[in-house]
């Protein structure tokens, strides 16, 4: 077959979808010596991908994701390669593409009520949401198969879009293998060498529930005898992060909350290796990769009990109600004060991670390519 993969989110700049794109392609290269692949990349990530399999070919696509040009001109570019199948790795399938394709839908968070996106202008956000729903609905209707990353997300797709259940295939993601961690002359992070801290990694969109985490952390900090206890938040400094900084200052914990911004992979590995616990307060996810990644480093996890998180984490974490600040604070305090519990969860997490594999994900995806 001649298979096209829309990998314009490939790499770290694509956030969760970028990681998924990268790991899918890397592992397909290892297991498929039969089919010819055409990997469509953006200007930002074209140089990041270096094929290791002669069957895999790089193609530059000048059409930005979510753009008008993507919808109008990207289909013509795809058709030039006489592809038997295209795999779109995100919901933004061109409305006018008429070839055979499958699509991966990681979640339907933007289908839910409330402002889940980053736009501060309600009307503009509303327009974007309607376009998003139109494009997603069209993609789901036309796709030969819909891949998703958890049973929870599959059930959401069926419930919110009325798609036929037999079109959906759940294929789990995985965590990367742990890296060696070290600090790269980062003065702020250097201070953490002698300070106990909790860790959160990811964006801070409203559904991530970081505002409640800050309020719960204030309760924890005020009630236990660890005067230097810190909360470290890792992620790109966007308007949402700045709002959290303001909230931390308003409730009097700004000296104990470290907004680390974007950091290098070795620095992130170091944070995972030295934290007391990973805290994941999210109200909804598609999969929940950060908690699984923390487990791969042996870091105990205290997590929200919502969405797919119990499905993915099993009995390897301590759960709390993410809408109950008191319960969140209670569970965080428990994991801080009970070293035996941390050790127990660390061991369980190491076993839980073994249930997931990027190579298995690629193999199951290849099976779908063959089936359609």
If we measure between CA atoms, which residue out of 257, 239, 283 comes closest to residue 199? 257
Residue 92 CA to residue 89 CA, distance in Å, equals 8
If we measure between CA atoms, which residue out of 157, 42, 159, 35 comes closest to residue 103? 157
Tokens representing residue 57 in the block: 């070919």
**Virtual torsion, Cα 229, 287, 17, 234, nearest 10 deg:** 0
Task: Quote the pLDDT of residue 11.
Answer: 86
Strand partners, 205: none
- At 320, which helix (H) or strand (E)? strand 318-320
Cβ-contact 142, 98 below 8 angstroms? no
Task: Quote the pLDDT of residue 14.
Answer: 46
Tokens representing residue 137 in the block: 């609905």
Task: Quote the pLDDT of residue 191.
Answer: 86
Between the alpha carbon of residue 368 and those of residues 33, 168, 170, 270, the distances in Å are 16, 11, 11, 37
Q: Where are the domains of the chain?
A: 2-174+357-371, 187-353
> Looking at domain 2-174+357-371, which CATH architecture does it have?
3-Layer(aba) Sandwich (3.40)
Task: Quote the pLDDT of residue 15.
Answer: 61
* pLDDT tens per residue, range 158-199: 999 989 999 999 999 999 889 888 888 777 888 898 899 999
User: What's the fold here for domain 187-353?
Assistant: Rossmann fold (3.40.50)
Provide the 8-state DSSP code for 88. Answer: E
Task: Quote the pLDDT of residue 118.
Answer: 47
Provide the 8-state DSSP code for 358. Answer: H
Provide the 8-state DSSP code for 115. Answer: -
Task: Quote the pLDDT of residue 110.
Answer: 81
- Check for a shared fold between 2-174+357-371 and 187-353: yes
| Binned average pLDDT, 10 residues per bin, the chain of 372 residues | 96 76 97 98 95 98 93 96 97 94 93 58 74 90 97 95 95 92 83 92 90 97 88 87 92 93 90 96 94 96 97 98 98 97 97 97 98 94
Strand partners, 2: 36
| Angle, alpha carbons 296-328-305 (nearest 5°) | 60
Between the alpha carbon of residue 29 and those of residues 49, 57, 137, 172, the distances in Å are 12, 11, 31, 19
Task: Quote the pLDDT of residue 116.
Answer: 47
Cβ-contact 94, 61 below 8 angstroms? no
Cβ-contact 353, 175 below 8 angstroms? yes
Task: Quote the pLDDT of residue 241.
Answer: 85
Task: Quote the pLDDT of residue 119.
Answer: 46
Contacts 24+ apart (CB under 8 A), 312-321: 312/150, 312/172, 312/287, 312/288, 313/288, 313/352, 314/348, 314/352, 314/355, 315/348, 315/352, 316/345, 316/348, 316/349, 316/351, 316/352, 317/291, 317/345, 317/349, 318/345, 320/281
Task: Quote the pLDDT of residue 117.
Answer: 47
Strands 168-170 and 101-104: unpaired
Tokens representing residue 217 in the block: 């952390």
Residue 336 CA to residue 342 CA, distance in Å, equals 8
Tokens representing residue 257 in the block: 């909350």
If we measure between CA atoms, which residue out of 295, 290, 303, 268 comes closest to residue 192? 268
3-state class (DSSP) for residue 203: coil
Task: Quote the pLDDT of residue 205.
Answer: 86
Q: How far apart are the first and last CA of the chain?
A: 11
Residue 77 CA to residue 60 CA, distance in Å, equals 10
Q: How many CB atoms lie within 10 A of CB 218?
A: 19
Provide the 8-state DSSP code for 45. Answer: T
Cβ-contact 71, 64 below 8 angstroms? no
């Amino acid at each position: 077959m001649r298979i096209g993969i829309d990998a314009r989110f490939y790499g770290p700049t694509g956030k969760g979808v970028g990681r998924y794109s990268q790991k899918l392609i890397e592992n397909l290269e290892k297991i498929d010596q039969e089919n010819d692949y055409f990997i469509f990349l953006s200007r930002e990530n074209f140089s990041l991908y270096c094929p290791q399999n002669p069957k895999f070919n790089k193609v530059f696509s000048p059409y930005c994701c979510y753009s008008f040009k993507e919808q109008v001109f990207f289909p013509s570019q795809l058709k030039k390669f006489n592809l038997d199948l295209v795999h779109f790795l995100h919901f933004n399938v061109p409305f006018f593409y008429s070839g055979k394709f499958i699509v991966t839908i990681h979640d339907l968070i933007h289908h839910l009520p409330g402002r889940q996106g980053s736009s501060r202008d309600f009307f503009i956000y509303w327009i974007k949401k309607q376009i998003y729903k139109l494009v997603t609905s069209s993609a789901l209707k036309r796709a030969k198969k819909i891949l998703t990353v958890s049973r929870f997300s599959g059930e959401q797709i069926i419930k919110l879009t009325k798609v036929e259940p037999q079109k959906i295939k759940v294929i789990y993601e995985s965590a990367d293998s742990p890296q060696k961690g070290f600090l790269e002359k980062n003065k702020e992070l250097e201070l953490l060498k002698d300070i106990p801290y909790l860790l959160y990694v990811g964006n801070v969109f409203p559904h991530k529930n970081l505002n409640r985490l800050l309020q719960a952390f204030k309760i924890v900090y005020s009630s236990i005898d660890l005067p230097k206890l810190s909360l470290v938040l890792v992620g790109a400094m966007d308007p949402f992060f700045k709002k959290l900084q303001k909230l931390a200052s308003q409730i009097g914990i700004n000296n104990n909350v470290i907004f680390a911004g974007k950091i290098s992979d070795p620095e992130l590995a170091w944070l995972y290796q030295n934290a007391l616990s990973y805290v994941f307060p999210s109200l909804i996810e598609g999969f929940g990769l950060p908690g699984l990644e923390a487990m791969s480093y042996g870091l105990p996890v205290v997590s929200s009990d919502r969405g797919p998180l119990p499905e993915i984490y099993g009995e390897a974490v301590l759960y709390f109600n993410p809408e109950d600040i008191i319960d969140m604070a209670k569970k965080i305090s428990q994991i801080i004060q009970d070293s035996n519990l941390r050790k127990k969860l660390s061991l369980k997490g190491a076993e839980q991670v073994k249930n997931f594999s990027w190579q298995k994900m690629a193999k199951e995806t290849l099976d779908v390519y063959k089936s359609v």
